[in-house]
Amino acid sequence: MQAKGAAVPATMKAIEIENGRGPADALRLTTRPLPAPGPGEIRIRVRAAGVNRPDIVQREGRYPPPPGASDILGLEVAGEVDAVGDGVARWAVGDRVCALLGGGGYAECAVVDARHALPIPDGLDFTQAAALPETAFTVFANVFEGGGLKAGETLLIHGATSGIGVMAIQMAKAAGARVIATSRGAAKAEAARALGADVSLDATEHDLTAAIQEAGGADVVLDMVGAAYAELNLNALKPGGRWVVIATLTGAKAEIDLMRIMLKRIVLTGSTLRSRPADEKARLAAAVEATVWPWVASGAVRAQVEATFPLAEADAAHAHLEAGAHVGKIVLLP
């Protein structure tokens, strides 16, 4: 189904990776056939698309899309529904939505399982809305479900000014938890503090192990650093703590004293989001809408967009993200 009288083009602009992998300048604007929604799917006219670190890893050839997903980069978008597949009841042409994708976001249109789309909260524009799905879903699934964070507990966040980190600070505070944030540089430490972190530590200046222990330790660690912080996390966690790994920027292999895991009763877990089954993502979308969307509507959780780039400048957006100076999200604007 599509809007009556609307001319539907046969093609769309999209970003592809020259030769299938490469550096940022391997990203090229190209023309692709316009995708059609199948049963249970909607097509979104993309007005904004979030840029995430997994996009870089895929561009480098180290994170292939799951079976059935588009080879086009992009895991989250915001825009208007412009076509609806059979069996879709919730959405109609013209609805403003944001959505979690398995791929396909760096384009003028994207097709997605209708259950993975959420209404754009009142007061948010497309750019802000595109910065929400990947981070909100990831933080909810890992910090609140995997890590079991509760009001009154302490969350330790490494990489606190990344898109995930910025969202995690706000969601933890909205849930009544205390936050210890680590980041690199005085400016980033101050940014984390301004977002609500109770303790914000500059990793280039502080002895993190000592400073975290002085701050009382953590019940949950959200770890995007990996191997280099394994011992630090083991020291930081309180008895019964939960260590949640969602990225391994310094390497995936670390030596861990299992006896200390046992003695402190630590749960070590982790997950990825993209490869989860469609039904599981639908369940997670409903949980995010019920819990996180009211925080967004109230202003307790805000989309933090640090920079925007035209779709044709996806290479510059990737270079900006790789430089590591950003605070919050980077968004492409088709």
Exposure string (b/e) for 125-146, b if CB count within 10 Å is 16 or more?
ebbbbbbbbbbbbbbbbbbbeb
Q: How far apart are CA 317 and CA 42, in angstroms?
A: 27
Asked whether the beta carbons of 229 and 249 are under 8 A apart, the reply is: no
> CATH assignment of 147-270?
3.40.50.720
Domain ranges of the chain: 11-134+274-332, 147-270
- As a whole number of angstroms, the distance between CA 64 and CA 106 comes to 16
- For 209-260, the pLDDT digits (tens) are 999 999 999 999 999 999 999 999 999 999 999 999 999 999 999 999 999 9
From residue 77, how far is each of 11, 22, 148 by CA, in Å? 19, 24, 28
| pLDDT surpasses 70 at 7 | no
Residue 5, pLDDT above cutoff 70: no
Query: Hey, what CATH class is 11-134+274-332 in?
Result: alpha beta
Give the pLDDT confidence of 183-202 residue by residue, as tens digits. Answer: 999 999 999 999 999 999 99
What's the whole-model pTM score? 0.95
In sequence order, the β-bridge partners of residue 97 are 79, 119
The rounded distance, in Å, linking the Cα atoms of 143 and 314 is 30
**What is the three-class DSSP state of 40?**
coil
pLDDT digits (tens, 9 = 90+) for 70-123: 999 999 999 999 999 999 999 999 999 999 999 999 999 999 999 999 999 999
Letter string b/e over residues 161-181, b meaning 16 or more CB atoms within 10 A of that residue's CB? bbbbbbbbbbbbbbbebbbbb
pLDDT tens per residue across span 50-68: 999 999 999 999 999 999 9
Average pLDDT, stretch 141-154?
Answer: 98
Among 307, 271, 300, 297, which residue's Cα sits nearest to residue 131? 307
In this prediction, residue 9 carries a pLDDT of 84
